Structure 1
Amino acid sequence: MSADLTPFEVFEAGDVALQCGITLRGARLAYATYGTLNAAKDNVIVYPTRYGGSHADNEFLIGDGLALDPEKYFIVVPNMLGNGVSSSPSNTAIPLAGPDFPTVTQYDNVVLQDRLLREVFGIDRVRLVCGWSMGGQQAYTWAALFPDRVAAMACFCGQAITAGHTYVFLEGVKHALITDPAWKQGRYTEQPWRGLTAKGRVWAGWVLSQDWFRAELWRDMGFVSVEDYLKNTWDSMYYGLDANDMLSMIRTWQMCDISANPIYNGDRRAALAAITARSIVLPCRTDLYFPPADNAAEVAQMPDAELRVIDSVWGHYAGGGRNAPDTAVIDTALRDLLA
């Protein structure tokens, strides 16, 4: 999550019954808006946040002359529950504080975001929903839950259903945190820094591809060795963030399944077939945990969807604004959907 947050508002949602059977009392959904809602309320774009990110981290795709142009569209960026800005383990009172924070699903996130749009802005139709990584999971969920209200959907480097291999990868990240003696079953008195450092090192080997490291692209970033890159980028990547928040979002990620809700009751084929929004799904050729083959299987079951593979060595980061040519591919897809 960005350390320096840009301005945001908070939707006080009251008591929210979550899928896990626990009521999140006094739920707070933090969000930022860009642009102006028009009189017809038909220029709305929903752009949810990613793992470990806030609304500020989504701004690389928003701006004058870009597809997500605030001069044309009203862009709503809701912060995912658990990210430290919306209701999260780190900012919720006892008895739901820290490790006692309830499990949140992407269904929970999207239903709450829908309430924000309807209750605060009177919005019932979305021109486009889009997102990177866990933001893409939420985009998929929006399109499946509200097929008659979402016109277009884009997911970049994300999935509708978390694959088994991705689940296992996240288990490694999780255990890097919880095996730190300072974690103390989530009731730590200071952040488990060793675990957060180990988490960063694990993530570094997954978020970028073998091709990226083979080309030694860390040199273009000013580093003189791989260890220099790890020490000065990844060892501090998650400092300033809360370990229980990180674990909460990992649980949400691992449980992602757009059919796991009262509408589809676990029927994944039905959930994917229900997505009538014009959709473009953009995996990266070298993404190690959202590979193109998984997305191709999803797109094949959607009635109006296209697979556009980002041909890049930047792996998962191809979707996150780290490499300008990759970002241009995403921007072009968003333009096509908004045309």
Structure 2
Amino acid sequence: MTEVSHFALGDFALDCGVTLPAAQIAYTTYGTLNAARDNVIVFPTWFVGSHADLEWLIGDGEPLDTSKYFVVVPSMFANGLSSSPSNTPAPYDRGRFPAITMQDNVRAQHRLLSEQFDVQKIQLAIGGSMGAFQAYQWGLAHPDLVERIAPCCGAARVSPHCYVFLAGAKAALLADPVYAGGDYETVPDAGLRALGRVWAGWALSQEFFRDGLYREMGFDTVDAFLVDFWEAFWVGIDANDLLSQLHTWQTADISLTPGYDGDLEKALGAIKAKAVASPGQKDLYFPPEDMAWEVAQMPNAEVRPIPGPWGHFSEVGINPACNAFLGNSIRMLLER
């Protein structure tokens, strides 16, 4: 099992105006940092994910090749490893954890890379889903440090449609009276299971269900897939951590970075890094046409949709064809 380290941020000022005391960011590393400190890849985690979810792309000979690169995987705030509602003492514990932005996450990650490792160049900032927001943010906030970005199945700003989906998922959980404003005494099981069923209809495409591709994941029926995969997944996650990350996703917007005043076109145009955006061809959260528009605003970018019916799961390492396509896109970008 990969060792998890923690970087102490101290009293960390957040965009919401709160200073989070004794904040910390969890991280893992793979490969060796070279003498010039310029062979770095940063790969932030996605929604409710950890480093373990990303390791399929990392290793000797893999797309993120540890024989060449030093890969740093920082955990997002509220994923249960970095500072989170579930591990922060009062007064910011549980449902009182302050609002976190994508900018907060990348600012903390930059401190990790600069203070812990004295990184001189980042060859690639890559991320999937919520990690894609962070990849865009890295490219915008640190144009002289970041050579390339690879946002996958994500966006630079949450769309109104995605915002509505997330609102529905949150409502399913908050409707469980056991949640009790975050001070629950037992796990809000009914709310978490309801959220799982909301999520199931969006994460994968209509074609995925029509063709019964859940069988490739080991489930004989749709109902078994709903109960044994979706419900089982969510009941293992701390509800307050989950809601904190949902808020971060729902408010994600790189154009809120100081100097851009909400102008997304201007923010995207300021990203100098070479970029390949990889949407899932049938992703319902982040449709490929949305990423294509983002790429069109950037000076040195292209879009390479991941073909197939796997929707938002196109970049999670499940389907071999999706994995091969995305791996090839990453290798091509690293050679540019």
Q: TM-score, normalised by structure 1?
A: 0.97
Q: Aligned-pair distance for 1:191?
A: 1.5
Q: Output the CA distance in 2 between the equivalents of 1:185 and 1:45.
A: 39
Identify unmatched segments of 5+ residues in structure 2.
Answer: none
For 1:319, which of 310, 315, 318 is the aligned residue?
Answer: 315
Per-residue Cα deviation, 1:173-215 (whole angstroms, up to 9, x for no partner): 1011100010011111111011111111111110000000000
Contact between 1:117 and 1:124, CA under 8 Å: does it hold in 2?
no
- Corresponding residue for 1:111? 107
53, 56, 61: which one aligns with 1:57 = 53
Q: Which residue of 1 aligns with 2:297?
A: 301
Amino acid at match of 1:168: V
Q: Does 1:132 align with 2:128?
A: yes
Give the 3-state SS of the residue equivalent to 1:236 in structure 2: helix
1:75-114 to 2 correspondences below 5 Å: 75-114=71-110
Name the CA distance, whole Å, in 1 between partners of 2:26 and 2:51: 9
Q: Per the alignment, in what secondary structure is the counterpart of residue 82 of structure 1?
A: coil
For residues 218 and 331 of structure 1, the distance between their equivalents in structure 2, rounded to whole angstroms, comes to 23
1:136 Cα deviation (Å)? 0.8
Higher alpha-carbon deviation: 233-242 or 125-134: 233-242
Aligned to 2:187: 191
Structure 1 residue 221, shift from structure 2 partner: 3.0
1:47–1:77: 8 Å Cα contact kept in structure 2?
A: yes
Runs (5+) with no aligned partner, structure 1: none
Shift of 1:219: 2.3
Q: Any conservation in 2 of the 1:45–1:128 contact (CA below 8 Å)?
A: yes
Q: Does 1:72 align with 2:68?
A: yes
Q: Runs ≥4 in structure 1, deviation > 2 angstroms?
A: 219-224
Secondary structure of the structure 1 residue equivalent to 2:28: strand
* Partner of residue 236, structure 1: 232
Q: Aligned equivalents of 2:289 and 2:49: distance in 1?
A: 26
Paired amino acid for 1:77? V
Distance in 2 separating the partners of 1:201 and 1:132? 22
Q: Following the alignment from structure 1 to structure 2, what is the Cα–Cα distance between the partners of residues 129 and 176? A: 34
Report the counterpart of residue 36 of structure 1 in structure 2.
32
User: Is the deviation greater in 5-14 or in 186-195?
Assistant: 5-14
Residue 143 (structure 1) aligned with residue 134 (structure 2): no
CA–CA separation in structure 2 for the residues paired with 1:233 and 1:269 = 39
Pairwise CA distance, 1:217: 1.0
Describe the SS at the equivalent of 2:26: strand
Identity of aligned residues (%): 52
Pairwise mapping of residues 319-338 of structure 1 onto structure 2 (< 5 A)?
319-338=315-334
- Secondary structure of the equivalent of 1:169? helix
Asked if structure 1 preserves the Cα contact closer than 8 Å seen for 2:36 and 2:120, the reply is no
Equivalent residues of 1:207, 1:315 under 8 A apart:
yes
Retained in 2: the 8 A contact 1:282–1:309? yes
Inter-CA distance 258–60: structure 2 relative to 1 (3 Å threshold): same
State the partner residue of 2:41: 45
1:156 aligned residue: 152
* Structure 1 letter corresponding to 2:87: N
Per the alignment, residue 205 of structure 2 pairs with 209
Structure 1 residue 264: Cα displacement: 1.9
Q: How big is the shift at 1:268? A: 1.3
For normalisation by structure 2, the TM-score amounts to 0.98
SS at match of 2:119: coil
Q: Structure 1: which amino acid aligns with 2:35?
A: A
Structure 2 counterpart of 1:287: 283
